[in-house]
Amino acid sequence: MGNEKLPPPPPRVDAKALFWEMMRVSRAPDRWMWPALRELGRVAREEGGGGGGKGFVLGALSNTVVFPEGVVDEKGAVFESGLRMEGADGRVEVGDVKAAFDVFVSSAHVGLRKPDRRIYEMAVKLLDEEARKRGVEGGIRAGDVLFLDDIGQNLKAAREMGMRTLKVDLGKSWKAVRELEGIMGLKLLAEEVPGEKARL
């Protein structure tokens, strides 16, 4: 009979190296979404998101990890949290993603994770408080929120709360930004997407 019916052995995975590589890669801002978020934040802060009491608040609800000060990766290098942005001149800048938002709900800090309904409720409450501070008429309720995520389970939980949702497909985030432009009535893509016209 031989071994021809046995499945191949599972691949060997260095979980520690894989984890740290994921952490390093996740620090690079998305080419399409990051400029869109920055522009939304600018409009929300400088222009009141449309003014006339009809502004918007930019929030993030993120499943996060908190690293102890001085934690080292699998190579022995001290790991720096935050976005790692490389300029055209090759200079590297480390930024705080939280600074791009008016409200930032971090799962690691509040002890809840998406898709737990309570973390969505907390986010809506904080968005409402911020909106009222800014004079947004009626504040914010779940039905006023447009929730973006790449994970279906998280989007489903948001819809069950009454939020509108927009799926962000990894590697194709420009499509979500295009849709967001239509919803918000704002130009959010800072540059043309290579080959976009051919794909549409």
pLDDT of residue 48: 67
Q: pLDDT, tens digit, for every residue of 88-110?
A: 787 888 888 898 999 999 999 99
pLDDT of residue 51: 47
CATH of domain 59-67+79-183: 3.40.50.1000
In the chain, the amino acid numbered 1 is M
Q: pLDDT, tens digit, for every residue of 47-90?
A: 765 544 457 899 999 999 989 999 999 999 999 888 888 877 87
At which residue do the structure tokens 């002890």 appear?
111
Q: What is the average per-residue pLDDT within 13-33?
A: 93
pTM here? 0.84
Residue 114 predicted with pLDDT over 50: yes
Helix (H) or strand (E) holding 126: helix 117-133
Helix (H) or strand (E) holding 86: strand 83-86
pLDDT of residue 105: 98
pLDDT of residue 45: 83
pLDDT of residue 53: 47
Three-state secondary structure call for residue 105:
strand
Beta-carbon neighbour count of residue 173 at 10 Å? 20
2 — pLDDT class (breaks 50, 70, 90): low
Q: Is 113 within 8 Å of 119 (Cβ atoms)?
A: yes
Helix (H) or strand (E) holding 166: strand 164-167
Which has the higher per-residue pLDDT, 128 or 83? Answer: 128
Provide the residue ranges of all domains of the chain, joining segments of one domain with +.
Answer: 59-67+79-183
Q: pLDDT, tens digit, for every residue of 129-186?
A: 999 998 888 999 999 999 999 999 999 999 999 999 999 999 999 999 999 999 999 9
Task: Name every residue whose Cβ is closer than 8 Å to that of residue 140 and which is 6 or more positions away in sequence.
Answer: 57, 124, 127, 128, 131
Which has the higher per-residue pLDDT, 4 or 5? Answer: 5
